[in-house]
Structure 1
Amino acid sequence: MSDAPGRPMKFPYTFSAKIAQFPMKFYVQNQWIWKYWMIGIAVATPVFYKIHKMANSPANVSKWAEIRRKEAAEHH
């Protein structure tokens, strides 16, 4: 696969031509959002993992099963 088309259109009017000629490398290198998006994912992943582990612990699962059992008994 080549880096750029051999003879690019002056105006890429098809969707695939627009995608092929879009300067994605320029945007990734020069916009702040890409860097902070990756930092945000790196910071949030351990937090969400900890919340997931606490919510799905055996003690918490049995506690919520008991709460659901009591609610179901009240409705019948």
Structure 2
Amino acid sequence: MSESASRPMKFPYTFTAKIAQFPLKYYVENQWIWRYWMIGIAVSLPVFYKIHKLANSPENVSKWAEIRRKEAAEHH
């Protein structure tokens, strides 16, 4: 393998090269929005999981199936 293959491009022309050279570590360490975004995702995931479990419980699914059945019967 030649040395030129390991050198970064002066200007990354391709999308993959732009992603490879993006200084993500710098932004995560020096900008507040990245940290709060990650903290927000970590805090909200359990809440969304709980809502998902409640919305898709067998009792709730059967309740909404009955509501839809009644609405369909009214329209015919």
Alignment TM-score, normalising by the size of structure 2 = 0.74
Aligned length: 70
AA aligned opposite 1:33 = I
The aligned residue for residue 7 of structure 2 is 6
The aligned residue for residue 29 of structure 2 is 29
Runs (5+) with no aligned partner, structure 2: 1-5
In the superposition, relative to structure 1, how do residues 63 and 14 fare at CA in structure 2: closer, same or farther (>3 Å)?
Answer: same
The aligned residue for residue 56 of structure 2 is 56
Alignment TM-score, normalising by the size of structure 1 = 0.74
If asked which structure has higher relative contact order (CA below 8 Å, sep 6+), I would say 1
The whole-number CA distance in structure 1 between the counterparts of 2:50 and 2:66 is: 23
RMSD over aligned CA atoms reads 2.0
The percentage of aligned residue pairs carrying the same residue is: 74
